[in-house]
Structure 1
Amino acid sequence: MTETITIPLNKLDLDPKNVRKTYSAEGIAALAGSIRADGYRLLQNLVVRKGDKKGRYFVTAGGRRRAALNLLAEKGEIAKDFPVECKERAGEDAKATSLAENILREDMHPVDQYEAFRDLADEGKSVPDIAARFGTTETIVRRRLALGRVSPRLLEAYRNEDMTFDQLSAFTISDDHEAQERVWNELPTWNRYASNIRSALAGEGVRASDKRVKFLGGLDAYEAAGGTVKRDLFDDKEGGFAVDVVKLDALVAAKLESAAKAVKAEGWKWVEIMPDVSYDTFQAYGRRYPEQVPLSEAEQAELDQLTAEYDELAELIEAEAGDEGADGKIEEIDKRITALQDRTEIYAPEAFEISGAIVTLTNYGDVRIERGLVLPEDGRDDEADGDDKGGNDVEKPQEVGQPKVTHSAALVEDLTAQKTAALRVELANNHDIALAAVVHAMLLSVIYDYSPNVDSALQIKLTHERIESSMKRSDDCRAVAELERLRETWGDHIPGNPADLWEWCLHQSRDELLSLLAFAAAHSVNAVRKLHCYDRKGAFEHADRLGQALEVNMTKWFEPTGDSYFSHINRQSIEAVIREAKGDQAALAVKAAGKKLEAVGIAERMVVASGWLPEPVRISVRTANTERDDAGFNEDAPRPVAAE
């Protein structure tokens, strides 16, 4: 039997044979807090062996405990020679002892943690006290205590490994055990994603990520105003649901009303609040556009100065070098810049007499105002239509009594063909105008969501499909959100009237036009593989070559998780994935899993931060010997990953 001995803290040294070399500062501080909370006692003795010098000992097992005690000694809470109870082992067993302690131990089961924390809470212990006592965070304690909302039957199902922890945690947004069990039993096994469980229990609730909740200032602001919330302590991104949708909409409408008052004061015929509208909505309206007016010299100088200040502050904030007031200052500068830019567009008095405005929200929860809209009953916008009401005459007739020139249709075609040839050669020799013309043609179909009667002489039509319908949850796609942000950013610079776009493009720098060209061209990229899309094999291959040229790192944009990937393939495919990503030994763990849900959880944990990606989302590398079918279209080639 190994005897317990007491050794002064300042006689204990790190053992070079201890296999654990690294301890986090946070972990040491947390353990020190736990030791403090327990009256400066250790629950587990250190394992030591005799050191190289007389009276000193190496700590073979318990390096973090030693570090935590040293931290307490540095703070003056315990003496430097604080007596530490230890167990001595022979030196030749040191490495095996260290390995056994670090590898063979098993984390406490989450439900066991919940029950232990619950008992302490029932005894009157606060969350901070429990966290300090066990060297963990208050968030972890609250999350474990939240499991008390879950039905005992579902807790038992988790103990039996019939569900994943993500699924179990999803039930904590509700304390209705009957509803929880009903959702679990009614959802198909293949569709029991944590997100679906949350949505089913939330009913008609609105996610914290919804633009209406963001506009109010988040769930806390909504709750402070009297709204009911279903919290989700386990979902760091979403946070929970606003349950009372009627209350939410009323609060949003009331807050939008203040913005609408300022718009009404501008003198529009009508102003309407619509918190949620699609871009297609505006196709039902006519449109009056503002006229472009230059700023005064003083205003332009102020705008230039503010823009420089904004860029400088943005760089400091990006580098985390800004002071505490940097965020607030940059917001004020942005408001002033917007106010000055608004002065460059002025509506004619007759526009206010016939048109109105809609006050709505962007996807990011910011106020968006669409002015100059003409109701159908008030007539479509005749400015864009021109004076010609649709006659088919090749030329307008001259006034009565005046001689007129008549051209046959064949002659008109001949002459305009020669005009076209001249335009083509001149455009080919003027790179700047050509760039402006191409950008103008592409932006007409990308930026303007309604259908203006404005066109380009260039026969360039940018074809771009909305790809959100091909995604299971487009709201969670990082790239879709970023593209929408870019769209809104450019929308603040480009004229609202498409009729003004041509002149605007002509006055932009080459760098600005190239940026816009890239933005517009990006909308035409299409690498979506659909069933029986064999006629686009070359396009898909080019998409990979485009990705190589762009040096795209897909791990920045996609992460294979249970919800995003593993739940959508069968067990054999999950096993094949882990074999490819982590090797044969790791694949055995998936193969030994009792149920698919367990296999999904194991796979997700194994590939996290590994850089592995499913084949369809990878940027394939083309080599000299690569055949066209190597891009994944050889119908005879075996596929290791199959959809379930």
Structure 2
Amino acid sequence: MTNNQAATETFFAPLNKLDRDPKNVRKTYSKEGIAEMAATIRADGYRLLHNLIVRKGDKRGRFFVTAGGRRLAALSLLAEAGEIAKDYLVECKERNEAEATEISLIENTSVEAMHPADEYEAFRVMADGGKTVEDIAARFGTSETKVRKRLALARVSPVLLDLYRNEEMSFEQLSAFTVSDDHAKQVEVWNSLPSWNRDRRSIRSALQSDAITASDKRIKFIGGIDVYEAAGGTVKRDLFDERNSGYALDVGLVEKLMADKLEAEAEKIRAEGWKWVECVSELPREAHYMSRLYPASVPITDEQQAELDRLEEEYAEIEEMIEAGVADDEAEPRAEAIQARMAALMEPSEAYDPDGLAMAGCYVLMDYYGNLSVERGLIRIEDEPDEADDEAEGADSIDEPVTRQDEEKQEPVFSLSAAMVQELTAQKTAIIRAELAHNPEVALAAVVHAMLTDLFNSYGSNDETCLEVKVKSERLETSIKDPAACKGIAAMDDLKENYGHTVPGNPRHLWDWCLEQPTATLLDLLAYAAARSVNALQLPHFERKVQRAHAERLARALKIDMTLWFEPTADNYFGRISKTGMVQAVTEAKGADFASGISGMKKADAAAFAERQVAGTGWLPALLRIEPVSESGEVGLSYPEGDDCPFDVDEQPDIENDDFSDAAE
């Protein structure tokens, strides 16, 4: 036997005679990693799958562990816990000191980690073989949640797992498929989605097209996902989305629970005496054109007034006793109770006219936010009183005669010529203009009224105003890939919903309502309407140079911090530009050194890398920056270097010859 052969034979050494080798190239081990290794050793009967590689130590009978430092640490952990003896015999192989560093380096660099997909399938094989989640977690020293996630990933279609192995799919995309166990549907969804729209959110949405998320307003309306589960509904939960409580799979049950809640409320409303009460999924369009019955203030009754007088006298007596220092311990609580009752009696109350209840009705529905809503006092056209019909007909008359003789005399009706009508109405228009020009309060109400009739769809056309003030609002959702994630659109939607609950639903009531509002309210509405008309879009067929230059000035006047509204991510920016653009972005944000490796990455990895590097730096794409004013007073419109600019930024716009036809449509 040669010396080399003798050196490679195995032998057993006591655990307390083994030390970490200072020549071991790995110096750091994580506590979690050591705990996991200890769990695997424990599960295998405290045996090692691979022997330790050792060399003789500095002292007689001791050995340095050249390869297997983590296994040594795990065994020491088990010994400290009393699971094995401190002198537990460990199987080792001995090498000489000259080879120590080389052996340690080989062990720590030559072993290739298992591909995650292979690990997922290995977990599935163990589960299929009868191992419980708890057993697997204990075997590998990991959490049960981690095991469940790996098992969920293992249930994804083998076709998609192969794509993940071949780096044609990201982990984020793969994890999105765990919300469904239908392999055929998983593959169908992947193939049907365009490459630019295969983000996790889109995949989950496509897979759960027949399910309802726990955050959906319908689930909120019925009282939450727990109410649905208590009614026997099935829930599918996404292990990879900690913010989501799951998906309700029984859409029919959700609809039934919603209908039951609406009908229960409708029964209460019917007891109030309305002519009709209907449950609807959304407010019908015709409701916006119905007349409306409003409650009137109810005066205090004689009985209530008598009670109020008695309470006032009692309260005065108690106050005197308290001031004189002769009141008992019950005086102050009684005084507080009297104050509360007096406040309740003096609280103004409202009630509907009984005659009005006999001709009006209510709609019971779920509002935009998932709350119960009742629209009371709506009068259908067929239920309008005759007097109201007569007034409406008179208001719609255009060619009203100046005078009409008694029909019994059968004299001809006198009416004006068309030319005379036009001239007199022109005179009237001029007079109204002159007066309005000197009444800014009414003018503000008139402008807001005209703008609102344009913006709120329920008002239909702009025929309700004589002002030729029109508001055009470009629909931005069609130009944004994920409009739901746009903070600006969300903020404007919230405002619209808020004003929708404030502004009257009937256009015939809007004018009087505007006249009654304070200036502050009208100015808020004017700002909202003006905001809806802002259009800084650049379109392929219409550059809008002049308008976009003004938008820059407007943004500067508003002192907007764009970083509060937009943060570039792989989804909304980097994943949709070239790697050259990513390099430029990271260079501008962090410096050229940070961007040097992007060109060699796969595009998805490069986009994720760019997102991480730019995060928190305040960097924005050039088109989202608020450009400074130049010395000439002009606001520039810059483009990223290397990108194709659709027009010459140095060219001065020709206002007279520029084509504004698209804006006028």
Alignment check: 8 A CA contact 2:401 2:414 kept: no
Rate the CA distance shift 1:477–1:629 in 2: closer, same or farther, 3 A: closer
1:61-210 to 2 correspondence within 5 Å?
Answer: 143=149, 146-151=152-157, 154-155=160-161, 157-210=163-216
1:513 to 522, 537, 541: 522
The 2-side partners of 1:273 and 1:631 are apart by: 54
- Whether 1:578 and 2:581 are equivalent positions in the alignment is no
With over 3 angstroms needed to count, the CA separation of the structure-2 counterparts of 1:178 and 1:419, relative to structure 1, is closer
Higher RCO, Cα 8 Å, sep 6+: 1
Match of residue 319 from structure 1: none
Aligned to 1:313: none
1:287 CA drift (Å): 0.8
The residue that corresponds to 1:432 in the other structure is: 441
Return the match for 2:372 from 367, 372, 380: 367
Q: Is the 8 A contact 1:207 1:242 kept in 2?
A: yes
Select which of 604, 607, 631 maps to 2:611.
Answer: 604
Report how far residue 627 of structure 1 moved. 5.6
TM-score when normalising by structure 1: 0.64
Q: Please say if 1:289 is aligned against 2:292.
A: yes
Q: Is the 8 A contact 1:285 1:374 kept in 2?
A: no
For 2:299 and 2:356, how far apart are their aligned partners in 1?
A: 25
CA deviation vs aligned residue, 1:174-214 (integer Å, no higher than 9, x gap): 23345434433554433322122212322422334432123
Q: Which moved more, 1:478-487 or 1:113-122?
A: 113-122
How far is 1:420 from its partner? 3.4
SS at match of 1:386: helix
Matched with 1:262 is: 268
Q: 1:380 to 1:584 in 2, by over 3 A?
A: farther
* Cα deviation, residue 282, structure 1: 0.3
Name the Cα RMSD after superposition.
5.0
Q: How far 1:170 sits from its partner (Å)?
A: 0.5
- The CA distance in 1 between the partners of 2:441 and 2:586, in whole Å, is 53
Task: After superposition, give the CA deviation of every residue in 1:536-565 in whole Å (9 maximum; x if it has no partner).
Answer: 322222223222222223333333333333
> What per-residue deviation string (whole Å, max 9, x for no partner) do you get for residues 362-388 of structure 1?
232112334455668879996697123
Compared CA separation, residues 181 and 410, structure 1 to 2 (3 A): closer
Give the deviation of 1:167 after TM superposition: 0.7
Equivalences for 1:34-73 in 2 at 5 Å? none
- Partner in structure 1 of residue 252 of structure 2: 246
- Answer whether contact 2:453 2:459 (CA < 8 A) is retained: no
Instruction: Check if 1:215 corresponds to 2:227.
Output: no
C-alpha distance in structure 2 between counterparts of 1:172 and 1:630, whole Å: 45
Could you tell me the percent identity over the aligned residues? 43
Aligned AA (1:526): N
TM-score for the superposition, normalised by structure 2: 0.62
Corresponding pairs, count: 505
Task: Judge conservation of contact 1:171–1:180 (CA < 8 Å) in 2.
Answer: yes
When residues 288 and 507 of structure 1 are mapped into structure 2, their CA distance, relative to the original with a 3 A threshold, is closer
Provide the rounded CA distance (Å) in 1 between the counterparts of 2:367 and 2:391. Answer: 29
Partner of 1:479: 488
After superposition, the C-alpha distances for 1:275-300 in whole angstroms (9 at most, x for unaligned) are 2x4x7x5048751212464576999x
Aligned equivalent of 1:443: 452
Shift of the 480–238 alpha-carbon distance from structure 1 to 2, 3 Å rule, reads farther
Structure 1 gaps of 5+ residues are: 6-27, 39-105, 300-335, 639-644
Which deviates more from structure 2 when the two are superposed, residues 206-215 or residues 617-626? 617-626
Counterparts of 1:217-616 in structure 2 under 5 Å?
Answer: 217-236=223-242, 239-275=245-281, 277=282, 281-283=284-286, 286-291=289-294, 293-294=296-297, 346=352, 349=355, 352-353=358-359, 356-371=361-376, 386-388=392-394, 390-395=396-401, 397-398=403-404, 400=406, 407-447=416-456, 449-451=458-460, 455-534=464-543, 536-594=544-602, 596-616=603-623
CA distance in 2, matches of 1:244, 1:348: 43
Q: Distance in 2 between matches of 1:380 and 1:109?
A: 78
On the 8 A contact 1:360/1:369 being kept in 2, the answer is yes
Secondary structure of 1:358's counterpart equals strand
Name the stretch that deviates more: 239-248 or 443-452: 443-452
Distance 1:375 1:429, change over 3 A: closer
The whole-number CA distance in structure 2 between the counterparts of 1:250 and 1:192 is: 33
Q: Is the 8 A contact 1:286 1:379 kept in 2?
A: no
